[in-house]
Amino acid sequence: MPRVAKFAYAMVPCPVPRAPCPALLTLSMRTLILCAGEASGDALGASLIAALLARDPALRFAGIGGPAMRAAGMEIWFDSQQLAVMGLVEVLKHLPRLLRLRREFVARVRAARPVAYIGIDAPDFNLPIERRLRSAGLRTLHYVSPSIWAWRQARAKSIGECAAKVLCLFPFEPALYARYGVAATFVGHPFADEMPINPDRAAARARLSIRDGVPVLAVLPGSRRGEVARLAKDFFAAAEATNTQVLIPAANAEVRTIIEHALADRPALAARARVLDGQMRDALYACDQAIVASGTAALEAFLAKRPMVVGYRIAPLTFWIVKIFGLLKAPYFSLPNKLAEQPIVAEISQYALTPDALINELRAWDASRLARFERLALDIHLLLRRGAAERAADEVLATL
């Protein structure tokens, strides 16, 4: 089940920066402010920065990002992990900190007087800022459409009031914006550009020192601490019941600590499990099957052409709010199923998510189902492979 689309802090008024003085604007015509949330946004931001610098090496970048954006040349004001909070109830606990961060960030944007602001994902943090900046005369773009296909499509109109253009990763999204007169462009997905059409399993196993013929299960419980804490117990119980080598990529040091604490309660699993520092794609290329948290990890498993079961769980109160108000509109919550517009992978959420349910779905894969899945994954991989970073960079410069 997708994250709740509108967090509490998105409703709190955001300070409106004064319009920049024209004489001062010329001093920062080469500065772009970017804001990315969590690891996936950091990767997208880094590839966008590289593509923009290839077109104009004089550009400068600053804002909120992670290690990938820093390595790409951006000045990091705040780390993107500070925005990695999901769900309505969860955000309320972090609301004072998030509001304080937003005030400080907007103040720095005002002082920088950039030529444009690019919000990368993190819609509940970015869109209110984009709205205020745009009303003050600053160019704004939003890279990665919120999941309006799942959560109230009418939100497209309000997103258009925040961003002059939306850069979409999926081909079905621009048409949703067009209904409301909002400029949106499908640029493709960077993951499809980066990941090989035919992954080399042998090479990945060699990099991970796994012998040929050893059955491997990849377990991906997510990249956010709350998400990992909610999924690890059931994911690991299912993995323990399999007779496989288990690979568990950790998105960052904090997530690794949570994973190691969960494994400490399962010594039998810990004895044949390896916790990796990142290396998620190597784990997916090397594995035979995967248990994956819904989100970008499920898309990467799909592009790796690996059979999987997708699990998701949010805080109980958030779940009941979603259920009572009927907020989830889409028939599927995982990206593989949405892209294929059919249930090609099993989705298990909330109270139905149990170790037995996960194990049963892993065992349900047979040769004919796998062959059909791989054909669909290949077709969609080619559809998404469009040179996303380069196309996004061209859209940014055209807007400027």
**Domain chopping of the chain, boundaries:** 8-189+386-399, 201-384
For residue 18, how many other CB atoms are within 10 A of its CB? 10
For residue 134, how many other CB atoms are within 10 A of its CB? 17
For residue 94, how many other CB atoms are within 10 A of its CB? 17
pLDDT of residue 110: 86
Phi, psi of 149 (to 5 degrees): -65, -25
Distance (Å, whole) CA 31 – CA 143: 17
**CATH superfamily of the 201-384 domain:** Glycogen Phosphorylase B; (3.40.50.2000)
pLDDT of residue 84: 60
Residue 252 DSSP one-character state:
S
Phi, psi of 169 (to 5 degrees): -90, -15
| Residues 190, 45 contacting (CB under 8 angstroms) | no
| Residues 315, 286 contacting (CB under 8 angstroms) | no
**Predicted model pTM:** 0.82
Of 258, 319, 312, 293, the residue nearest 90 (C-alpha): 319
Structure tokens at 149: 């296909």
Structure tokens at 256: 């690794």
Distance (Å, whole) CA 99 – CA 97: 6
CB contact set of 220 (below 8 Å; sequence gap of 6+): 248, 249, 280, 283, 284, 290, 291, 292, 293, 297, 301
Report in angstroms the alpha-carbon separations of 389 from 48, 65, 351, 384, 393.
5, 17, 38, 12, 6
Over the chain (400 residues), the average pLDDT of each successive run of 10 is 40 47 45 90 94 95 95 94 58 72 90 94 92 93 89 84 96 95 96 95 96 95 87 96 95 92 94 94 97 93 97 73 61 87 92 95 96 97 97 94
Highest CATH level, class, for 8-189+386-399: alpha beta
Judge whether 8-189+386-399 and 201-384 match in fold: yes
pLDDT of residue 28: 47
Distance (Å, whole) CA 295 – CA 79: 21
Its sign, for the CA torsion 237, 331, 8, 37, is positive
